[in-house]
Amino acid sequence: MDASDLITIDADILGGTPVFKGTRVPVKTLFEYLEDDYTLEEFLQSFPSVTRELACRVLDRSEAALVPPKVA
């Protein structure tokens, strides 16, 4: 699954703000919720159009992009 399977960037959807694929929910909203000490469950309850799988895959992809792999 690549980033285009997770996120949509389209000028016609919220002016090109990256959103969860198939929704109008900005990806940054997930990170804002987590930064403000809300749980993933609280985010999902507030934005039912985002599936748990989709949110978790975005978080996993973000972690992989930002955190270097551990060297054995």
**Residue 69 placed within a domain:** no
Q: Which two tokens stand for residue 46?
A: 């507030």
The total number of residues written for the chain in this structure: 72
* pLDDT tens digit sequence for 11-62: 999 999 999 999 999 999 999 999 999 999 999 999 999 999 999 999 999 8
Q: How many CB atoms lie within 10 A of CB 54?
A: 22
Rounded to whole angstroms, the Cα distance separating 18 from 28 reads 8
Task: Measure the CA–CA gap between 30 and 27, rounded to whole angstroms.
Answer: 6
CATH number at residue 15: 1.10.10.10
Q: What is the pTM of this model?
A: 0.83
Q: Residue 63 corresponds to which amino acid?
A: E
Distance CA 14, CA 53 (A): 23
Q: By residue range, what is the domain housing residue 17?
A: 3-62
Q: Quote the pLDDT of residue 28.
A: 97
pLDDT greater at residue 61 or residue 70 = 61
